[in-house]
Chains A and B, each alone.
Chain A
């Protein structure tokens, strides 16, 4: 199985940059996902990394280092609407199951 660790809560100022880290331990890494979940809503997909490096998509970027078991989600030019929980999920192909396992999520609070 996987052991996924991310901070419980972070706060940041509107317009700033914030980095949310995720560390994991897995035997058969097959991709890492980031999802955004607003309170009372369903998670929505943000990014996917399977190779080392940075994937950029607008204000959001995601980085992966497989050798370090480490990823981060970078949010630039923060807006109030970015206040949400950010979920890191790792897919493990060992055992033939490709089901992503989710971390507990990082609650991001953006204040003016």
Chain B
């Protein structure tokens, strides 16, 4: 496909379980971003990748959150021991790179519900 894809689209899990969220960026885009959006809130930056490296992890809310990117393409966001406050829509975006003018292309998001 031509756009950013994310899977699953919806995930319901029990408190304490681990979850993995996947993002497939647009082919050729070296920059990849993870955000989360809670009801009535703006987009909260989590982490970004330039290639396979993550220069800025400052947005990760706790050490239960981690992310990796392999082959400069697919990225996985992992949340360990999920808590109810982790419930949100997790959005992935990609862009050709980070430095020059570039709009971000967003995926449809994964709606995570922690019971």
> How many Å lie between the Cα of A44 and that of B106 in the bound state?
7
- Partner of A45 from the list B42, B55, B103, B107 (CB cut-off 8 Å) is B103
> How many Å lie between the Cα of A97 and that of B33 in the bound state?
12
Given contacts A42-B91, A99-B33, contact A48 B103 (CB under 8 A): yes
> How many Å lie between the Cα of A105 and that of B106 in the bound state?
16
Closest Cβ of chain A to B53, distance in Å, is: 13
- Partner of B104 from the list A96, A100, A105 (CB cut-off 8 Å) is A100
Residues from 40 to 65 in B contacting A, C-beta threshold 8 Å: 40-43, 45, 48, 55-56
Task: Determine the main DSSP class of B at the interface with A.
Answer: loop
> How many Å lie between the Cα of A105 and that of B41 in the bound state?
8
Interface string of A16-55 (1 = CB under 8 A from B): 0000000000000001010000000111110010100000
* Contact B43 A43, beta carbon cutoff 8 Å: yes
Residues of B within 8 A of A79 (CB): none
Closest Cβ of chain A to B8, distance in Å, is: 15
Task: Judge whether A76 is part of the interface by a CB distance below 8 angstroms.
Answer: no
* Contact A99 B48, beta carbon cutoff 8 Å: yes
- Partner of A97 from the list B4, B56, B109 (CB cut-off 8 Å) is B56
Closest Cβ of chain B to A71, distance in Å, is: 15
* Contact B42 A31, beta carbon cutoff 8 Å: no
Q: Which residue of B lies closest to A100 (CB)?
A: B104
Closest Cβ of chain B to A63, distance in Å, is: 17
Task: Judge whether B108 is part of the interface by a CB distance below 8 angstroms.
Answer: yes
List residues of A whose CB falls within 8 A of some B CB: 4, 31, 33, 41-45, 48, 50, 87, 89, 96-105
* For the complex of A and B, 4 pairs with smallest distance between CB atoms: A42-B106, A45-B103, A104-B42, A102-B43
With A42-B107, A42-B108, A45-B103 already in contact, 6 other A-B pairs whose C-beta atoms are closer than 8 Å: A4-B42, A42-B91, A48-B101, A87-B42, A104-B41, A104-B42
